[in-house]
Amino acid sequence: MKTYDYSSLAVPGVRQLRPYTPGKPIAELEREYGVRESIKLASNENPLGASPMALAAIRDELDDLWLYPDANGFELKRALARLHDVDPACITLGNGSNDVLVFLAQAFLQPGLEAVFSQYCFAVYPIACQMVGAEMRVAPALPADSPMPLGHDLRAMYQRVGPDTRMVFIANPNNPTGTWLEAARVKDFIGSLPPHTLCVVDEAYTEYADGDRLGNAAGWLREFPNLVVTRTFSKAYGLAGLRVGYALSNPGVADLLNRVRPAFNVNSLALTAARAALDDQAFIDHSREVNAAGMRQLQDGLEGLGLKVLPSAANFVLVDFGRPVAAIDEALLRAGIIVRPVANYGLEQHLRITIGRPEQNSRLLKSLADILGRT
């Protein structure tokens, strides 16, 4: 096949882009390492699986797969509007919340305009900004010895907001650190921003968090027209394989986002499953209970191994091993356990570990004890 330097044809933002690196799938691990009965604690999926009500709804939808999905997602948007007490015109649906984050960059950023985010923010924020050629202003995170180590420093973020800043990203709780911000502080920060700067509050893990502490940013939309809230069904609702998320915003913002949104970006099964999952509060409550117990199990076990566990309000923990972790990660893979190295975030001494079922957590802790005892 003839070759050509097609990178020379690409726009600068894409030419220099480093793609997002997802967690290793179980099937890939077992092919490469020849292991069996592997467990994946890398991508913050719900270890209980999907909502039973969502699974039942999917089965009922199968006979209609020959039809295009509802491009407007009417039923899901109506349910989300009731849940968040907003007009359906405030909602933008996405193929996961990743989708709406990209829409935001496409609609509001370009070369010469700026976005602000924290040092250890979700990797998609800088990817989306670089893709459209926007300037990225990165605020240093809180120091490792602070009460909220490596978390968002709102003062540092505010100091980087200027006349060309069109967007500020806040993840609450944050991925990959698990750290969080109190609701009152986030609300004060949004109120301090100029009207030309959108504040994107990413609440992908909010179902696992203490709502009284973190608040519900969707409830502030009437007060702040420059607020955008993003959420996903990939985490607590257990629908990661279907990819469905959404943004809540002022109708004027939503109108612009929906102009760049592809008409059929959320498939029929995802729309149906997400709508049903919203009614399955028992599943969410059980998921939170299992997560809270697993959090205690992992924190106690990891600290018992002499490791530092950062505070987390999500369904994962970030663990500081005090040394480079590549060899430890490799040993875990050979033991059939997938966790998430985060060197791509500049955290070469840390592993992010999803909270699993009790027996999965126990297996991880036992394997780590064996590995650390040998190294």
Confidence of residue 19 (pLDDT cuts 50, 70, 90): confident
Is the CB of residue 257 less than 8 Å from the CB of residue 103? yes
Given phi > 0 = left and psi -120 to 50 = alpha, else beta, which region is 277? alpha
Strand partners, 118: 139
- The Cα 111–Cα 264 span in angstroms is 29
Q: What is the pTM of this model?
A: 0.94
pLDDT at 213: 85
User: Does 345 score more than 90 pLDDT?
Assistant: yes
**∠ CA 205-221-177 to the nearest 5 degrees?**
25
User: Does 22 score more than 90 pLDDT?
Assistant: no
Confidence of residue 342 (pLDDT cuts 50, 70, 90): very high
User: Does 287 score more than 70 pLDDT?
Assistant: yes
Segment 260-285, tens digit of pLDDT: 999 999 999 999 999 999 999 999 99
Q: Give the mean model confidence (pLDDT) for residues 139-157.
A: 97
What percent of the chain is modeled with pLDDT above 70?
99
CATH code of the domain made up of 54-277 = 3.40.640.10
User: Does 131 score more than 90 pLDDT?
Assistant: yes
Q: Amino acid identity of 44?
A: N
Strands (E), the chain: 39-40, 91-94, 114-118, 135-139, 165-171, 198-202, 227-232, 245-249, 308-309, 316-320, 337-338, 340-342, 347-354
Contacts of 281 (CB under 8 A, 6+ apart): none
**Identical fold between 6-49+281-374 and 54-277:** no
Residue 138: its H or E element: strand 135-139
Name the nearest CA neighbour of 149 among 308, 294, 302, 305: 308
Provide the token pair at 270.
């995802």
Q: Give the mean model confidence (pLDDT) for residues 80-89.
A: 97
User: Does 125 score more than 80 pLDDT?
Assistant: yes
CATH fold for the domain made of 6-49+281-374: Aspartate Aminotransferase, domain 1 (3.90.1150)
Name the nearest CA neighbour of 167 among 177, 180, 157: 157
User: Does 375 score more than 80 pLDDT?
Assistant: no
Is the CB of residue 130 less than 8 Å from the CB of residue 279? no
Is the CB of residue 345 less than 8 Å from the CB of residue 120? yes
Provide the token pair at 263.
């008409």
Q: What is the length of the chain?
A: 375
Spell out the domain ranges in the chain: 6-49+281-374, 54-277
User: Does 1 score more than 70 pLDDT?
Assistant: no
Q: Give the mean model confidence (pLDDT) for residues 26-48.
A: 93
Confidence of residue 46 (pLDDT cuts 50, 70, 90): very high
Task: Give the range among 9-18, 144-153, 228-237, 353-362 with minimum mean pLDDT.
Answer: 9-18
pLDDT at 30: 87
Confidence of residue 373 (pLDDT cuts 50, 70, 90): confident
Q: CA torsion, points 149, 152, 153, 158, in degrees to nearest 10?
A: 170
Q: Do the bridges between strand 227-232 and strand 198-202 make them parallel or antiparallel, or are there none, so unpaired?
A: parallel
Segment 290-321, tens digit of pLDDT: 999 999 999 999 999 999 999 999 999 999 99
Segment 176-216, tens digit of pLDDT: 999 999 999 999 999 999 999 999 999 999 999 976 788 99
Provide the token pair at 10.
């690409």
Confidence of residue 244 (pLDDT cuts 50, 70, 90): very high
User: Does 114 score more than 70 pLDDT?
Assistant: yes
Q: 344 or 142, which is more confident?
A: 142
